Amino acid sequence: MNREPQNDKIRITIKVFGGLRESFQSGTQVYRLSSQATLGLLLQELKIDFPELSKKLLVGIDAGYLSILINGRNVRFLQGQDTGLHDGDTVAFLPPMGGG
């Protein structure tokens, strides 16, 4: 999570919902990443810090049912995992929800 010097870092808020929350220490965390970070880099960091969560995220991404939002915008309509992250961004991971 904090592997580089603090200069040239951005702060990203990560929110995890639904059944994914049990694999994350809490529903929300702040990460510090390189100022050149992308969603793909964030996913790599999560793989190191939260391997169980990472597995669930990758299954959801591969199967196409996991929604990932950056500041409320679905990454499917941005650049996917190549979407750049900026200081203050919020990344939300939303599994499908059922109800009725």
* Per-residue pLDDT reduced to its tens digit, 49-94: 999 999 999 999 999 899 999 999 999 999 999 999 999 999 999 9
Cα dihedral 50→29→82→53 (10° resolution): 30
pTM, 2 dp = 0.87
Would you state the CATH architecture of domain 9-94?
Roll (3.10)
Mind listing the pLDDT tens digit for each residue in 23-36?
887 789 999 999 99
Q: Which of 4-8, 39-43, 59-63 has the lowest mean pLDDT?
A: 4-8
* Distance of alpha carbon 24 from alpha carbon 19, whole angstroms: 10
Residue 78 CB burial class (10 angstroms; 0-12, 13-18, ≥19): middle
